[in-house]
Amino acid sequence: MQAILSPILNLLHAVILPHLGEAQTTGWLGLPAAAVPWVIFGLRAVDQTISTIRTLVTVQGERRLAWILGFLQSFLFISAVAGVLQSLTQPANLVAYAAGYAAGQVLGITLENRMARGHSVLRIISATKGQAVGDALRLQGWGVTELPGQGLEGTVGVVLCTVPRKTIPAAKSTILGIDASAFITVQHVFLLGGGWRP
């Protein structure tokens, strides 16, 4: 490990560290050396968590939130990088940097699933119970449109139901409670207007 890292470290030492000037000798933020890897880990974990959510918010077109999250993320990132670069002799710092990144990815995905912003459309194909599935979903308060379709073994019910992403698991168990063999797909949609919602 050391053998692989040392040429890289030497390069970084030669290229970047001379620019760091006096900060190099004072120690990063005046922290005790043992605490630095933990702080770096924490900074990266948080910045990557924010990054995951920012990406989602960006795709959804929410500008203000994207700006705020972007600022926080970038601020934490540059702090973490500074911490690593100012004590490159400590392999623990590098490991903490990478581990923080990885942990942040996992945390970000988890948190994003928990938040579940936006809406999805469920397309349910049921061989015999299309109408019952539609009625059950309506009872739960969601808007449903049923279409007749043609499958291998005759007429099937195609049920369209747009729900908030958060409620997908609830909708799924409602559907499977009526027809355990229903075919369900989920797609992300943007709502432009109308419809009845609870």
Partner 1 sequence: MPDLSLLPAYVMPVLIFFLRVSDMSLDTLRVLFVIRGQRLLAWILGFFQSLIWVVAITTVLSNLNNLWNVFGYAAGFATGNVVGMLIEEKLAIGYGHLRIISSRRGPGIAEAIRKAGYAATELSGRGRDGTVAVINCSVRRRDIRRVQQQVKDIDPNAFITVQEVRPLHRGFWRA
* Contact footprint for partner 1 (CB under 8 A): 16, 19-23, 54-55, 58-59, 61, 63, 66-75, 78-79, 81-82, 85, 119, 121, 131, 134, 138, 143-147, 160, 162, 187-196
Round to whole Å and give the CA distance between 153 and 75.
Answer: 59
- Contact indicator for 162, 142 with CB cutoff of 8 Å: yes
Give Cα separations from 30 to 26, 60, 88, 161 (angstroms): 7, 41, 16, 57
Q: Which is nearer to partner 1, 2 or 165 (CB)?
A: 165
> If you search the block for the tokens 């019910």, which residue do you land on?
157
The least CB distance from residue 145 to partner 1, in Å, is 4
187: left (phi over 0), alpha (psi -120 to 50) or beta: beta
The least CB distance from residue 17 to partner 1, in Å, is 10
The least CB distance from residue 3 to partner 1, in Å, is 26
Q: Which is nearer to partner 1, 68 or 106 (CB)?
A: 68
Question: In this structure, what DSSP letter does residue 122 have?
Answer: E
Q: Which is nearer to partner 1, 1 or 24 (CB)?
A: 24
Q: Which is nearer to partner 1, 3 or 15 (CB)?
A: 15
